[in-house]
Amino acid sequence: MGERLKDKVAIITGGASGIGEAHAHLFANEGAKVVVTDLQDDLGEKVVAAIGKEGGDAIYVHQDVTSESDWDNVVKTTIDKYGAITTLVNNAGVANISGVEEETLDGFNRVVAICQTGVWLGMKACMPALKKSGNGAIVNISSLYGIIGTPSMISYHGAKGAVRLMTKSAGLEYARQGVRINSVHPGIIETPLAKTLSAEYIEMITETTPMGRMGEPMDIATMSLFLCSDEAKFITASEFVVDGGWGAQ
């Protein structure tokens, strides 16, 4: 067990699988008390049980990140259990592969609600406790697709691009209030979400990534670990790309 997040209390949304699950394990292994939230209750409970077996301290809370009342419940549960909130990782997300004409209003709104509105609701709900901690940190998981454009993902690009700029706005707003806020921008990562993409698309991305492979969930979690630790105490309102060099081309 490490101590880079000793005495931290971290909420991780979408923590039942993929990138969120990697965050939960890594943060707990580095000393944080972890609150895993998700809609996938069975998987979330398994993550928490595994953390316990590893010697960590974690609980699971059912959450729809688009629900303000669910956010209020997560905050209350966390404070009741651990007495504080110092760290938030807004990770929950979904994607649609649809262009301008193919996308539906319901599909567009769903992506925006989860990927963008959920991030804002998380920052809003947790901010009083984060300010009170005196050393709060938020990582908003955006995407490389929040910086560059590709065809036929209109809702995902829009939502993830919004997360990038909301992070900068909020980071500046709270820079003198003891809360640092940064965004992380993964490339293509081996996650359940990536499995919804076509095999041809995955092959194309892998072949054109300078490092020659997809990323792993832990590649993203280690970046967030740094940003949530005291090692990043002079970093806020900034963006960090973890993509194997793909976006530099």
- Residues that are catalytic: 156
Instruction: Using the structure block, give the residue that is written with the tokens 């901690």.
Output: 133
Mean pLDDT score of the chain:
97
Q: Locate the domains of the chain by residue range.
A: 9-241
The pLDDT tens digits of the residues spanning 64-110 come to 999 999 999 999 999 999 999 999 999 999 999 899 999 999 999 99
Is 80 exceeded by the pLDDT of residue 216? yes
Residue 81 has a pLDDT of: 99
The pLDDT tens digits of the residues spanning 7-55 come to 999 999 999 999 999 999 999 999 999 999 999 999 999 999 999 999 9
Task: Band the pLDDT of 114: cuts 50, 70, 90.
Answer: very high
Is 90 exceeded by the pLDDT of residue 197? no
**Alpha-carbon 36 to chain mean position:** 12
The pLDDT tens digits of the residues spanning 116-158 come to 999 999 999 999 999 999 999 999 999 999 999 999 999 999 9
What is the assigned CATH class of domain 9-241?
alpha beta
Residue 72 has a pLDDT of: 99
Exposure string of 21-56, with b = 16+ CB inside 10 Å and e = fewer, is bbbbbbbbbbbbbbbbbbebeebbbbbbeebeeeeb
Residue 218 has a pLDDT of: 99
Residue 123 has a pLDDT of: 99
